[in-house]
Structure 1
Amino acid sequence: MRSRCLVVSFASPRTRTPSFAIALLSLALAVAHGPRALAEGPFTLTSTSLRDGGTVDAAQVFDQDDCKGSNRSPQLSWHDAPQGTRSFAVTIFDPDAPGPGWWHWAVAQIPANIDRLPENASASGYVKKIGAVEGRNDFDIDGYGGPCPPAGKAHRYVVTVYALNTTDLRLAQGRPALMFDHEIGTATLGSARIVVNYGR
């Protein structure tokens, strides 16, 4: 990263004041230590499968009972993770489901050098290939289970990527998604999310 050079022009000895000198010193220190912070953008999540505030397509909808989607986990990309990130996790949660809500997907131990998941990463085996683990969703299935709300008002689906300060949450494949959520919360440096909607 290119360093910055601060040029300071001091007033003559008669007009200089202690407070003026202190202000200039503070400015110099801020410039000297600030480039890394200024260079980072906000931690963000994007998707080619989902649009923030939009409606879930049939490709991502669940494929059992009276839900007739393709149950493909969405493509996700994230950018500008916080410093110190050692791994990532992803969850999809429906806060509008009856009771405590509904877990649709929980993935942990995504390596820090990965900044995206392709569409259908869950069923295709890509998640396992990169060494990540998936929780058991509330359909009682390991991996991704798409939206399938009761008929009526549309539900919100909160898709979140977490930057974590550890490479190992000590979570095994198939443990409940709620357990994944708890362990993710103990190691989160930052998170980014999009919210989508689906109703029948």
Structure 2
Amino acid sequence: MSMFNVGLNQLFDVEIDKINKPYLPLASGELSFRNGVIIVSSSLILGFLFAWAIGSWPLFWTNLISAVLAVAYSADVPFLRWKKYPVLTSLNFIIDGALARPIGYFLHMQTCVLKRPATFPRQLIFCIAIKSVLSVAIALLKDIPDVEGDEKFGIRSLSSRLGRKKGVAHAILASALWFRAKSVDVNDSASLQSFYTDFFWKMSSMLFILLY
């Protein structure tokens, strides 16, 4: 499902990625658009087949909500393409990353793996609270290296509206992020991308490890 979410965004952003991330498979031409569609579609189908095969309704609904939000975020059709709007981007990330996934994965583990009754312990509530903060920060951080391409194609992200330096300042919502951000060169896209992919997602993933 993660391959579907990320891949769908790359399918709709090929021209933008030629400016912001020319090294990506579709943007560089290493992967054809047709094969990209096949991979993304197959990932979506396999995600649902996996949930059906193991009989996990929590996982099925988590995948469905995540897929719908991915379409709303990326699809360049009327009333969608939420990535154009900072508020809708943050809302999308909160619903997906802070609500649907933590709750869905937790209920899957409880009811389908451990065969326990569904509960909502304090650890889950704490995880949701922290993930909500991180989701907003992710929504802000992800656009900082992409200002050039976003501006050219009319995507008015918060980073493009505020500028890179102010974008970083608004994105740092926790002390750990603040100390790591001190080493980021805000004028270097590679440094910004490293901060987002190498550091920030590791922090986000650690919450799931601690929860489960």
Provide the TM-score with structure 2 as the length reference: 0.23
**Higher-helix-fraction structure:** 2
**Higher-strand-fraction structure:** 1
Could you say which structure has the larger radius of gyration?
A: 1
Determine which structure has greater relative contact order: mean sequence separation of CA pairs < 8 Å that are 6+ residues apart, divided by chain length: 1
